[in-house]
Amino acid sequence: PQSSEKAKTFVHAFLKRSMPKVKDDALQDMLTRKAVVLEHYPKKKTKQKRKKTKGFTAKQRRELRLFEIEPEQQRYAIFLPLHELWKQYIRDLCHGLKPDAQPHMIQGKLLKADLHGAIVTVTKSKCPSYVGITGIILQEFKHVFKIITKEDKLKVVPKLNNVFSLEIDGFISYIYGSKFLLRASERSAKKFKLKGTIDL
């Protein structure tokens, strides 16, 4: 370690070399009155861009048959537990479906609820062959329901021009498919008008 005199001489000489235009008196004044602060500028860290994970395209999903139900799985009995889970989900959503519950409140919740597992019946249709189809909804798309019937037949029923009825704990709700052309994920944010024009 250097002595205080040597350190003083070194600093004075360093400042004289660094600032030749400054007089000795001014240098001495700087040393006695002010502190010399040596600033350190850290290097800026470059943020690495996160790579977004790309999902499958619609074409790839169709080619991989991700949403297709195998024929051996198309049995009504397999999906009855799903229906029981759905009923419990609706009861929790509607706070028990009590007899004194207001119908429009329940209707509003059902319109936004997930219908996978619900038992529905086609009550009206512009195509008579659809009327009377009853089964559990296995898949809901924007324009169609895929329903498994008690006869173990998978039916693809369009929403457009069809009216569906849904019963749970004595409460019957009607779904007008023409007003229901939404994906299940989009429906929760949709504001439905409970009163309006009713048509197929």
Task: Please tell me whether residues 10 and 105 are part of one structural domain.
Answer: no
**108 lies in a domain?**
yes
93 and 16, same domain (yes or no)? no
Number of domains composing the chain: 2
Predicted local confidence at residue 138, as pLDDT? 92
Same domain, 2 and 79: no
Residues 100 and 177 in one domain: yes
Domain holding 5, by residue range, is 1-32
Give residue 53's pLDDT. Answer: 67
Mean pLDDT in each 10-residue stretch from start to end of the chain (200 residues)? 72 78 74 59 70 76 80 90 92 79 78 89 93 93 92 92 89 85 78 59
54 lies in some domain: no
Q: Residue 34 gets which letter from DSSP?
A: -
* DSSP letters for 89-141: HHHHHTTT--TTS-HHHHHHHHHHS--TT-EEEEEEESSGGGTT-EEEEEEE-
pLDDT at 78: 93
Longest dimension (CA), the chain: 108
Task: Select from 199, 173, 67 the least CA-distant residue to 119.
Answer: 173
Is residue 148 a contact partner of residue 160, using CB atoms and an 8 Å limit?
no
Note whether 23 and 78 are same-domain residues.
no
Residues in Cβ contact with 15 at an 8 Å cutoff, skipping those fewer than 6 apart:
22, 27, 30, 31
